[in-house]
Amino acid sequence: MSETIWTNVVLYSGHRLIEGGRMIVTEQGTIRAVGDELLPIPAHARVRDGGGALLLPGFIDVHVHGGNGYGVMDAAAESLDGMSVFHARHGTTAFLATTSTSSNEHLVRVLRSAAERIGKTPGAELAGIHLEGPYLDEKRRGAQSKEHLRLPSQTEIEQFLEAAGGHMRLVTLAPELEGALAAVSLLAARGITVSAGHSDATYRQIEAAIQAGLTHTTHHFNGMSPLHHREPGLAGAGLALGELTTELICDGIHVHPAVVKLLFDTKAPEKVCLITDAVSPAGLPDGEYGDVVVRAGEITLKIGSSLAGSSLTMLQALKNAMRYTGYPLEKLLPSLTIVPARQAKLDRVKGSLQPGKHADFVLLTPELRLLSTFVRGKEVYSADQAE
């Protein structure tokens, strides 16, 4: 198979859109060159005319639990594959399999299952693991299992890291817990991004955690100590402290559109990481699924009213963010591409259309309807074939 050159596309490069863009993809699934119509067509290259479509870096979801009836906590290859196919249909090209609080035995099984499917999923690429819990604050646990919450243990963390087989890229914990700062330091020293989430931490406690290596917040504003004018809490710390990149569930349910705009205006897209926090029933019809209820896109626990993840997709998150903020596409794209790649330590190979990186990209109409999703140069979703 020879190289492929994409022509006649509106190509996103850096912070701008290039009309009449061209991109050369190698037979190994990497990008060889990116440019405009002056980029020469190689001899024997397969020419693909994009018909004026937008060609954008693929979306990277660093916080996703499942979708279309499949979940990470199933600890099954077919579930990871199923959710990868579902999210590829909505523009995701890479994701971190995200856990939920559970027993040691179950989490070890889940981590091993995910580690075995790294780079093997048929849709969006499973590129790593996000451990959310079990080291969370009971007061801010939301839908996380109360029964299995516990304090950080270095022995258990080492067990989790071993089970993840070197693929742990993000860990969410409550930094105010006893032993949490030592855990932050341990994880950061291993090159793992540490995030504050499901936390009742004070502003001062977050400052201390940053000194230990904290750089991220989990689904900002949700499951955390709120902003108060005398105690900014974790919500205020995320807004005020430049060291922190803030995740955001931009579905209009978890965070009010006005607060979405506030976060983007305050932090700038380079410090906002859009996520789905999608759970197993995402994409399914309204109804009851286990201990949760899906109703008009909102997912809550059957007992109580706590939100239990979302039914959001990355493409819808982009559309919502554009509507809520008034920002143009090219300004918001980093929050779905290079920012999550950076936070997951994947930016050397993913997150932007640059020579040497994986050819992970999406084709969209000017109205942002998804046409195709490509992972490492291979088409994993086509709207034409889906119809």
Question: How far are the Cα atoms of 49, 70, 223 from residue 180, in angstroms, in the given order?
Answer: 53, 31, 17
- pLDDT more than 70, % of the chain: 99
Could you tell me how many helices (H) and strands (E) the chain has, helices first?
A: 11, 21
H runs (alpha helix) in 64-216 = 77-88, 104-117, 154-163, 180-189, 203-212
Is-catalytic flag, 61? no
- Please pick, among 277, 286, 291, 384, the residue that the annotation labels catalytic: 277
| β-sheet bridge partners, residue 12 | 17
Q: Which residue has the tokens 């992972």?
A: 375
Q: Which residue has the tokens 């639990």?
A: 65
Q: Encode pLDDT of 12-32 as tens digits.
A: 987 789 999 999 999 999 999
Is 0.95 surpassed by the pTM of this model? yes
Cβ atoms 282, 261 nearer than 8 A:
no
Question: Coil, strand, or helix at residue 334?
Answer: helix
The response to whether 229 counts as a known ligand-binding position is: no
The response to whether 230 counts as a known ligand-binding position is: yes
The response to whether 65 counts as a known ligand-binding position is: no
User: Mean pLDDT for the chain?
Assistant: 96
The response to whether 183 counts as a known ligand-binding position is: no
Question: Coil, strand, or helix at residue 302?
Answer: coil
H runs (alpha helix) in 22-103 = 77-88
Query: Is the pLDDT assigned to residue 387 strictly greater than 70?
Result: no
- At the topology level, CATH places domain 4-56+351-386 in Urease, subunit C; domain 1 (2.30.40)
Q: Tell me, what amino acid is at 284?
A: L
Measure the CA–CA gap between 224 and 308, rounded to whole angstroms: 15
Q: Which helix (H) or strand (E) holds 10?
A: strand 4-13
Measure the CA–CA gap between 359 and 378, rounded to whole angstroms: 8
Q: Which of 60-64, 92-96, 299-303, 311-315 is predicted with the least confidence, judged by mean pLDDT?
A: 299-303
What residue spans define the domains of the chain?
4-56+351-386, 59-343
What does the pLDDT read at residue 13? 84
- At the topology level, CATH places domain 59-343 in TIM Barrel (3.20.20)
